Structure 1
Amino acid sequence: MEDDFDDGNIDNWIVVADPDRTPCSAPWEVVGGRVGISINQPSCTTNLMPNDSLWNDLGNEYVIDVDMEFVIGTDHNIAFRFTPTILKNYWYDIHFTSPGGFVLERVPPGPTSDSKTYPVPNRETPYHIKIIMKTGDIEIYIDGNLALDYEYDPLTDKFPTGRVALRAGTGGDSVSETYFDNLVVTSLGDEPEEKDPVVVLPGIGGSWDTTAMVTGGDGDDWKKTPFVKVYENLKNTFIDNAGYVEGEDYFEFYYDWRKPLTDLADDFDDFLQTTVLTDKPEDTKVDLVGHSLGGMVARVYAQEHGIDKLDEIVTTGSPHEGAIPAWLAWSGAEVGERWSWQWLTLQLYLQAHKFGYASPVAAVRGLTPGLKDLLPIFDFAKDEEETVMPYSGLTDLNTYLDGLKSSLSSEVKDLLNTIAGREDDPDRNTVEWLTLGERSFIDQLLGRWPDGKPVNREYTDEGDLTVLQKSATVSGAASTGLVEAAHVSLPQTETGIQAILDALDLSEVTPATGVEPLPRNPSLVFFLHSPAELTVTAPDGSQAGFGVASPMANSLYSSEDKLLIIYNALAGIYGVEILGTDSGQYHLDIGQLTEAGEFFTTIGETTAAGETDSYQLNFEPDDPLVQPIVDETGKTQLILAKAKLKELKDAVNRRWFKNFIDQIIRLIDRAVEKIDQGRFRWAQVYVQRALLTDYYLRLFSDRHWSFWGLTAQEQILAHNLAAEVGQYLEDAFIITFELSGRRLTSRQVQSYIRETERLKARVDRRLESYGQENQLLGETYELAEAKLAGAKADFDSGNLAEAYAQLLAAKILYQEALGLL
Structure 2
Amino acid sequence: MLLKFLYTTSFSILTLIFNSSNVKADTILFSDNFNDNILDSKWVEKGYALEKLGSFNPTSQLSLTETGSVLKIAGEDTLLDTQIDGTWVGWFGKSLISTNEFPLSNLVIVQTNVKIVEGNEGFISLITIEFDSNNRILLTIGDHSVGTLHGVPRSQLVFEEKDILRCVGASLEEEKESGCVSLPFNLELNRSYTLQIQFDPTTKKVTGLIDGELVHVGTFRGTMSDFNTGIAATVRENGIDDRKLVDYIDAQFDDFVLQSAEIVNTITFVPGMGASWNSDAMLRCKFENGYTWELASFAEDVYNPLLTALKEDSGMEIKEFYYDWRRVIPSNSSKLSNFIESYLDENEKTHFIGHSMGGLVGRAYIEKSGSQNKIKDYISVGSPHQGSPLAYPAWSGGEIWNDNFLLKIAGHILLRHCGGVISNNRVNIRTFIPSVENLLPVFEYLKDKKDGNFKPLSGMSAINEWLSENFNFNGVRVGTLSGKGFDTLKEIPVKDRNLYDEIMGNWEDGKPTGKTFTNEGDGTVLLTSSRLSGAENTEINQTHIGLVSSSQGITEIFNFLGLAEATPLETSFVEPTSAIIFISDDADLTVVKPNGQIKKDKDSLVGILNPERGDYLVILNPKSSETDLEVGYFLENGEVLWREFGFKGKLPQVKKVFFDPKYLFSR
Q: Common fold, TM-score beyond 0.5?
A: yes
Aligned residues: 411
Deviation at 1:405, TM superposition (A): 3.3
User: Do the aligned residues in 1 keep the contact of 2:382 with 2:525 (CA within 8 Å)?
Assistant: yes
Q: Does the C-alpha gap of structure 1 residues 454 and 554 become closer, same or farther in structure 2, counting only changes over 3 Å? A: farther
TM-score scaled to structure 1, two decimals? 0.46
CA distance in 1 between partners of 2:601 and 2:269 (Å): 22
User: Do the aligned residues in 2 keep the contact of 1:376 with 1:391 (CA within 8 Å)?
Assistant: no
2:497 match: 439
Deviation at 1:254, TM superposition (A): 0.9
2:625 match: 583
User: Do the aligned residues in 1 keep the contact of 2:366 with 2:473 (CA within 8 Å)?
Assistant: no
Q: Does the C-alpha gap of structure 1 residues 535 and 557 become closer, same or farther in structure 2, counting only changes over 3 Å? A: closer
Code of the residue aligned with 2:266 in structure 1: it is P
CA distance in 1 between partners of 2:218 and 2:298 (Å): 40
User: Do the aligned residues in 2 keep the contact of 1:519 with 1:568 (CA within 8 Å)?
Assistant: no
Task: Give 5+ residue unaligned stretches, structure 1.
Answer: 1-133, 136-185, 537-542, 545-550, 631-821
> Do residues 556 (structure 1) and 599 (structure 2) align?
yes
Aligned residue for 2:297, secondary structure, equals coil
CA distance in 1 between partners of 2:609 and 2:541 (Å): 28
CA distance in 2 between partners of 1:562 and 1:397 (Å): 34
User: Do the aligned residues in 1 keep the contact of 2:581 with 2:605 (CA within 8 Å)?
Assistant: no
1:267 match: 335
CA distance in 2 between partners of 1:411 and 1:616 (Å): 55
Match of 1:492 among 540, 545, 549: 549
> Do residues 411 (structure 1) and 474 (structure 2) align?
yes
> Do residues 457 (structure 1) and 515 (structure 2) align?
yes
TM-score scaled to structure 2, two decimals? 0.56
CA distance in 2 between partners of 1:347 and 1:391 (Å): 29
Q: Does the C-alpha gap of structure 1 residues 574 and 224 become closer, same or farther in structure 2, counting only changes over 3 Å? A: closer
User: Do the aligned residues in 2 keep the contact of 1:233 with 1:511 (CA within 8 Å)?
Assistant: no
Aligned residue for 1:491, secondary structure, equals helix
1:343-742 mapped onto 2 (5 Å cutoff): 343-355=408-420, 358-384=423-449, 385-401=451-467, 404-406=468-470, 408-409=471-472, 411=474, 415-422=477-484, 424=485, 428-477=486-535, 479-506=536-563, 508-510=564-566, 512-517=568-573, 520-530=576-586, 532-534=587-589, 543-544=592-593, 552-553=595-596, 556-558=599-601, 560-565=603-608, 567-570=610-613, 580-584=622-626, 586-603=627-644, 605=646, 607-610=648-651, 612=653, 619-624=659-664
Q: Deviations over 1:450-508 (max 9, x none)?
A: 2111112111111111110111112223x1111211011112222222322232233x5
CA distance in 1 between partners of 2:513 and 2:338 (Å): 44
2:256 match: none
Deviation at 1:337, TM superposition (A): 2.1
1:232 match: 304
1:771-810 mapped onto 2 (5 Å cutoff): none
User: Do the aligned residues in 2 keep the contact of 1:528 with 1:563 (CA within 8 Å)?
Assistant: no
> Do residues 221 (structure 1) and 292 (structure 2) align?
yes
CA distance in 1 between partners of 2:461 and 2:550 (Å): 38
CA distance in 1 between partners of 2:279 and 2:408 (Å): 16
2:200 match: none
> Do residues 320 (structure 1) and 385 (structure 2) align?
yes
Q: Deviations over 1:576-611 (max 9, x none)?
A: 675533234x44332112221231325254733228
> Do residues 207 (structure 1) and 276 (structure 2) align?
yes
1:289 match: 353
Code of the residue aligned with 2:325 in structure 1: it is W
Deviation at 1:534, TM superposition (A): 4.5
Code of the residue aligned with 1:255 in structure 2: it is Y
Deviation at 1:349, TM superposition (A): 2.1
Aligned residue for 1:350, secondary structure, equals helix
CA distance in 2 between partners of 1:579 and 1:236 (Å): 30
User: Do the aligned residues in 2 keep the contact of 1:203 with 1:290 (CA within 8 Å)?
Assistant: yes
User: Do the aligned residues in 2 keep the contact of 1:286 with 1:311 (CA within 8 Å)?
Assistant: yes
1:812 match: none
> Do residues 255 (structure 1) and 323 (structure 2) align?
yes
CA distance in 2 between partners of 1:449 and 1:587 (Å): 36
Task: Give 5+ residue unaligned stretches, structure 2.
Answer: 1-176, 179-213, 220-261
Deviation at 1:296, TM superposition (A): 0.3
CA distance in 1 between partners of 2:303 and 2:524 (Å): 18
Q: Does the C-alpha gap of structure 1 residues 272 and 623 become closer, same or farther in structure 2, counting only changes over 3 Å? A: same
Q: Does the C-alpha gap of structure 1 residues 518 and 241 become closer, same or farther in structure 2, counting only changes over 3 Å? A: same
Code of the residue aligned with 2:624 in structure 1: it is D
User: Do the aligned residues in 2 keep the contact of 1:524 with 1:569 (CA within 8 Å)?
Assistant: no
Code of the residue aligned with 1:418 in structure 2: it is T
Aligned residue for 1:389, secondary structure, equals coil
- % of aligned pairs identical? 26
The structure carrying a bigger helix percent of its residues is: 1
Q: Does the C-alpha gap of structure 1 residues 434 and 238 become closer, same or farther in structure 2, counting only changes over 3 Å? A: same
User: Do the aligned residues in 1 keep the contact of 2:296 with 2:602 (CA within 8 Å)?
Assistant: no
